[in-house]
Amino acid sequence: MVGKLTPDDIVTASVLPVIMHQSPWKTANEQLRTALDVAEGKPIERLEQNQPMFWGDTLEPVILREAAKRLSLTGVDTDIAGAFFHDELPFACSLDGEGIGTKVFTHDPANGIYVPMGGEVDTRSMGVLEAKNASCPPEDAPAPYRGYWQLHGQMEITSVLGAVSPSSTEEMIFGFFCIVLMKVCGTKS
Instruction: Write down the pLDDT at residue 164.
Output: 55
Measuring CA to CA, how many Å separate 151 from each of 12, 25, 105, 182? 11, 19, 18, 8
34 lies in some domain: yes
188 lies in some domain: no
Pair 119, 187: CB distance under 8 Å:
yes
62 lies in some domain: yes
Per DSSP, what are the bridge partners of residue 104?
122
Instruction: Write down the pLDDT at residue 51.
Output: 86
pLDDT interval class at 67 (50, 70, 90):
confident
- Between these two residues, 123 and 82, which has the higher pLDDT value? 82
What DSSP string runs through 116-176?
A: TTSSEEE--SEEEE--EEESS---SS--IIIIIHHHHHHHHHHT-SEEEEEEEESTTTTT-
Tell me if residue 98 falls in helix, strand or coil: strand
- Between these two residues, 57 and 37, which has the higher pLDDT value? 37
Average pLDDT over residues 1-30: 90
pLDDT surpasses 70 at 179: no
pLDDT surpasses 80 at 50: yes
Per-chain mean pLDDT for the chain: 77
Q: How far apart are CA 128 and CA 159, in angstroms?
A: 10
**Above pLDDT 90, what percent of the chain?**
26
CB atoms within 10 A of CB 132: 20
pLDDT surpasses 90 at 169: no
Domain range for residue 97? Answer: 11-183
pLDDT surpasses 50 at 44: yes
Q: Give Cα 133 to chain centroid, integer Å.
A: 11
189 lies in some domain: no
Q: Give Cα 96 to chain centroid, integer Å.
A: 8
Q: How far apart are CA 153 and CA 175, in angstroms?
A: 29
pLDDT interval class at 84 (50, 70, 90):
very high
116 lies in some domain: yes
Q: What is the CATH number of the domain that holds 136?
A: 3.90.320.10
- Between these two residues, 70 and 11, which has the higher pLDDT value? 11
CB atoms within 10 A of CB 92: 20
| CA nearest neighbour of 94 among 104, 105, 79, 84 | 84
Q: Number of structural domains, the chain?
A: 1
Q: How far apart are CA 175 and CA 186, in angstroms?
A: 29
**Positive or negative torsion for Cα 25, 67, 73, 117:** negative
134 lies in some domain: yes
45 lies in some domain: yes
